[in-house]
Amino acid sequence: MAGKTLYDKIWDAHLVDTQDDGTCLLYIDRHLVHEVTSPQAFEGLRMSGRKVRAPEKTIAVPDHNVPTTEGRDKHIDNEESRIQVEALDKNARDFGINYYPVSDIRQGIVHIVGPEQGWTLPGMTVVCGDSHTATHGAFGALAHGIGTSEVEHVLATQTLIQKKSKNMKVEITGKLRPGVTAKDITLSVIGATGTAGGTGYVIEYCGEAIRDLSMEGRMTVCNMAIEGGARAGLIAPDEVTYAYVMGRPHAPKGAQWEAALNWWKMLHSDDDAHWDKVVTLKGEDIAPVVTWGTSPEDVLPITGAVPAPEDFKGGKVEAAARSLDYMGLKPGTRLTDIKIDTVFIGSCTNGRIEDLRAAAAILKGKKIKDGMRAMVVPGSGLVRAQAEEEGLAQIFIDAGFEWRLAGCSMCLAMNPDQLSPGERCAATSNRNFEGRQGRGGRTHLMSPAMAAAAAVTGHLTDVRELM
Amino acid sequence: MDKFTTLTGIAAPMPLVNIDTDMIIPKQFLKTIKRSGLGKNLFDEMRFTQDGQEIPDFVLNQPAWRKAEIIVAGDNFGCGSSREHAPWALLDFGIRCVISTSFADIFFNNCFKNGILPIVLPEEAVAVLMEDARKGANARMTVDLEDQTVTTSDGKSYSFEVDAFRKHCLLNGLDDIGLTLEKVSAIDSYEKTLGQSRPWV
Ligand code: SF4
């Protein structure tokens, strides 16, 4: 019999029930909740007189809708946003779940708060009504997004009805070159496989370049597994993982820590495990990349040029033509000739302390280009406080960046931070869809260091020239 | 949830690939705390200009497809976020079935929870159905879930696969939570062993 993958092992450990047709009931260890995808689920519970089965395993934080400017704990101008945040306040209270309101320094983007507080641990099943739940896979946790009906299902039963996905291995061999980051890895993988390349699979990322990443870099990689279409992305836990987890508020302590560690150590794919699909990239072949279009698969090395629709096949020809029109780009234009109006550093992809350090390293002693709008939005109140302590905040402010409070901010235009039509943004977030950052807004995805470089020069820039 | 058995209706052709959830329902409409009323904002930025005028070229604004109940779409329909507002908006508009060569995983799941049937068919079949959909209001497609077939207005029929459990729930309009709660003793005993095997959880 073939060995098991990491995914197989986590799956098996969480099986509550299996039906004859292969439909399974999977136990959920952690349920994260935010204000946008949960109101209808709580309403459903109330209507049917149900309770939250495991409130101690349920964690809520408002992030999508909240303004990132001072005073938001007193008042949120936008009425609909305010109603959603108030609904979460009330639901958290009524159902007795763990809660980090905007007034709490620990508030932030749900996928940053979970790991930071030690809620996310290796080998767990973690779900949230948000597709970037994939982020938590960096701990070797099976983590994925669910819809609101499923949110209600998990609240009521602490389980999820699931069918098993297939196993896909994405190996990044060797070392990365200078200036190349976790963001470049994850974008390059999507560039290679396409946004549907992972559909039906759970990805395990492995190889030397992945092992060499910090926990924060690993979170960046797994965060975008969903952009590759996968249900989840996983990285097997190792010493780097344990060191990150140890001592966090909700991590196990004492004898429980030892027991947990013993269990975590068997969380790896066996050598003879079966893979349904394998993709291998060489670490040294990966360059700093940016996206040119309106799909995360539209990835090119920064040294490249805007492609033409005819470079593609099938339905992608029309999609590329539409992208170029929306993005206001002409085929053949060098990527480094594309001018930028706005820079956004933040999001659950790149809003952690190392991301801010990487951007600040480029910005130190420099100013952003005249007329540029640039903002940094830390992923949580604690990241923000740490960045202030390390002097990073001052570097950003001196360079001309706005220094904001934690939240999703300009990653998606649900709060006051938005692009205007035609405005072009260098963003460290994960989606460049039409209108994602504001109607008519144009998004180029890249790493924090690359976004910082663009802020300085005013156009897409190869960060290696500023290093 | 409404049952889904058979559906005969107008199909709208949307050949674009990678139609994402931000296109289906832009995020400014996610601020509701209700499930209903999102149909008027379905495909908002493709359907309306910034000042709320209809964009005449958009398929669902054309007389032939205003009452569409089926969408035939390009590859990877529904990619992007987990927002269930996407199927809610489709349903509220009147769409009960989407046909494509592939769907994004979470969107695909969400459809079944709301009585929408997503059908995956090979490229050749989708191409024929796309042509049929282009005929507009005079051509009605028939989807039969019991038989697992889609039939074009001129009688060409294609079989599709559907998960048996999901089919059962859709045919009978069954609520997942109720079904799962019938297994509550299995959940209880799982939690009991969990207390011993992984007490830190
Ligand atoms: S930062 Fe962006 S991608 Fe992440 S949870 Fe918030 S909106 Fe979603």
User: A201: nearest CA in chain B?
Assistant: B105
Three-state SS annotation for B40-60: HHCCHHHHECCCCCECCCCHH
Q: Does the ipTM surpass 0.90?
A: yes
| Cβ within 8 Å of residue A105, ≥6 positions away | A381, A382, A385
- pLDDT tens for A179-209 read 999 999 999 999 999 999 999 999 999 999 9
Which of the four pLDDT bands, split at 50, 70 and 90, describes residue A17?
very high
pLDDT value at residue A123? 98
**Mean of pLDDT values over A159-184:** 97
Report chain B residues whose CB lies below 8 A from the CB of A433: 20, 22-23, 80
Domain definitions of chain B by residue range: 6-174
pLDDT value at residue A254? 97
Q: Which atom of ligand 1 is nearest to the CA of A414?
A: 7
The whole-angstrom distance between residue B58's C-alpha and the CA centroid of its chain comes to 19
Q: Is the pLDDT of residue A1 over 80?
A: no
Do A319 and B18 contact (CB within 8 A), yes or no?
Answer: yes
Name the amino acid, one letter, at A22: G
Which of the four pLDDT bands, split at 50, 70 and 90, describes residue B28?
confident
User: Is A429 close to ligand 1, i.e. is its CB under 6 Å away?
Assistant: yes
Which of the four pLDDT bands, split at 50, 70 and 90, describes residue A21?
confident
Q: Does A39 touch chain B (CB under 8 A)?
A: yes
Of A201, A219, A189, give the one whose Cα is nearest residue A296.
Answer: A189
What's the mean per-residue pLDDT of chain A?
Answer: 97
Distance CA B198, CA A12 (A): 14
Task: Tell me if residue B139 falls in helix, strand or coil.
Answer: coil
Residue A132 alpha carbon to ligand 1 centre in Å: 7
Distance CA A433, CA A414 (A): 14
Q: How many CB atoms lie within 10 A of CB A413?
A: 21
Joined together, the tokens standing for residue A222 give 């797994």
pLDDT value at residue A203? 98
For A59, A262, A356, B71, B200, the CA distances from A253, given in Å and listed in that order, are 20, 13, 30, 53, 9
How far A34 CA sits from the closest chain B CA (Å)? 12
B12 - beta bridge partners?
Answer: B71
> Which residue is it, tokens 């190349």?
A180
**Mean of pLDDT values over A116-129:** 98
Which of the four pLDDT bands, split at 50, 70 and 90, describes residue A250?
very high
Angle between helix axes B105-112 and B85-93 (nearest 10 degrees) is: 50
| Cβ within 8 Å of residue A258, ≥6 positions away | none
Q: Is the pLDDT of residue A291 over 90?
A: yes
- pLDDT tens for A24-37 read 999 999 999 999 99
Strands (E) across A256-355 are located at: 277-282, 289-291, 299-301, 342-345
pLDDT value at residue A131? 94
Distance CA A438, CA A425 (A): 11
Joined together, the tokens standing for residue B151 give 């039939």
pTM of the model: 0.93
What is the strand order of the sheet A142-145 is part of?
A98-99, A58-60, A30-33, A125-128, A142-145
What are the backbone dihedrals phi and psi of residue A233, each rounded to the nearest 5 degrees, phi first? -125, 140
For A349, A430, A460, B8, B95, the CA distances from A196, given in Å and listed in that order, are 20, 15, 27, 30, 23
> Which residue is it, tokens 């529904």?
B78
Q: Is the pLDDT of residue A311 over 90?
A: yes
Q: Does A65 touch chain B (CB under 8 A)?
A: yes
> Strand A166-173 vs strand A277-282: parallel, antiparallel, or unpaired?
parallel
Distance CA B179, CA A446 (A): 44
Do A442 and A174 contact (CB within 8 A), yes or no?
Answer: no
Q: Kindly state the percentage of chain A with pLDDT values over 90.
A: 96
Secondary structure tally for chain B: helices H, strands E: 8, 7
Joined together, the tokens standing for residue A150 give 């499923």
The gap between the terminal CA atoms of chain A, to the nearest Å, is: 51
Would you tell me which residues 59-88 of chain B have a C-beta closer than 8 angstroms to some C-beta of chain A?
74-76, 79-84, 87
pLDDT value at residue B60? 97
> Which residue is it, tokens 């053949």?
A332
- pLDDT tens for A141-163 read 999 999 999 999 999 999 999 99
DSSP-H helix ranges across A61-101: 79-95
| Closest partner CB to B75 (pick from A133, A196, A433) | A196
- pLDDT tens for A317-359 read 999 999 999 999 999 999 999 999 999 999 999 999 999 999 9
What is the strand order of the sheet A15-18 is part of?
A15-18, A24-27, A159-162
Handedness of CA B29, A341, B81, A383 (dihedral sign): negative
Which of the four pLDDT bands, split at 50, 70 and 90, describes residue B139?
confident
Stretch (H or E) spanning A32: strand A30-33
Q: Which atom of ligand 1 is nearest to the CA of A34?
A: 5
Distance CA B133, CA B126 (A): 10
Q: Is the pLDDT of residue A428 over 90?
A: yes
Contact B22 A436 (CB under 8 A): yes
Joined together, the tokens standing for residue B51 give 């000042």
User: Is A130 close to ligand 1, i.e. is its CB under 6 Å away?
Assistant: yes
Q: Is the pLDDT of residue B161 over 90?
A: yes
Do A405 and A72 contact (CB within 8 A), yes or no?
Answer: yes
Q: Does A77 touch chain B (CB under 8 A)?
A: no
What are the backbone dihedrals phi and psi of residue A37, each rounded to the nearest 5 degrees, phi first? -105, 10
Do A294 and A434 contact (CB within 8 A), yes or no?
Answer: yes
Distance CA A224, CA A230 (A): 9
Strands (E) across A190-273 are located at: 201-206, 232-234
How far A436 CA sits from the closest chain B CA (Å)? 7
Contact B199 A259 (CB under 8 A): yes
Name the amino acid, one letter, at B142: T
Which of the four pLDDT bands, split at 50, 70 and 90, describes residue A415?
confident
Name the amino acid, one letter, at A204: E
| Cβ within 8 Å of residue A220, ≥6 positions away | A181, A182, A183, A186, A349, A350, A355
Of B103, B93, B117, give the one whose Cα is nearest residue B18.
Answer: B103
Distance CA A227, CA A349 (A): 12
Distance CA A294, CA A252 (A): 42
Residue A72 alpha carbon to ligand 1 centre in Å: 19
Burial class (CB in 10 A: 0-12, 13-18, 19+), B195: exposed
Distance CA B30, CA A38 (A): 11
Joined together, the tokens standing for residue A317 give 């020809």
Distance CA B182, CA B165 (A): 15
Q: What is the CATH number of domain B6-174?
A: 3.20.19.10
